[in-house]
Homo-oligomer: A and B are copies of this chain.
Amino acid sequence: MTRGDLFSPACPTRRLLDRIGSKWTSMAVKVLAEAAPGEVRFADLRRRIPGISQKMLSVTLQSLVHDGLVARRVEPAVPVRVHYRLTELGLSLEVPLAALREWAEAHMAEIDEASAGR
């Protein structure tokens, strides 16, 4: 199964991490997952992701939509409202991602200890 990884860009895991590993992606997915199967508005996402700028939220959502993990729905109104939700694909990713989240919450303290200089 190590076959096929003839050059790094071909490794699926690496490519997946390149996408979901970008600074705000995991938090956006988390918020959307908590609301699933419901939708979340742009402004709500922004409120629920402390510290994120308008631009970075926009960029992050665009890449998620582009990758087919998130669906975007524009509600025609003035001013417009845009709603986001995880797609089927996004929801399926949530499963392993939730496992990783649990691990992180359970073990990051150990990593911190090790990093601190033991």
Contact = CB atoms under 8 A, between A and B. Distances in A.
Chain A binding surface SS class: helix
Interface string A48-66: 1111100000000000001
Report the copy number of this chain in the oligomer.
2
A68 to B, nearest CB: 3
Interface residues of A, number: 53
Interface in A64-102: 66-69, 89, 92-93, 95-97, 99-102
A45 interface: no
29 contacts: A2-B30, A2-B34, A2-B48, A7-B50, A8-B24, A8-B52, A12-B108, A13-B105, A14-B23, A16-B100, A16-B104, A16-B108, A16-B111, A17-B20, A17-B21, A21-B21, A66-B114, A66-B115, A67-B114, A67-B115, A68-B114, A68-B115, A89-B111, A93-B103, A93-B107, A95-B99, A95-B103, A97-B100, A99-B100
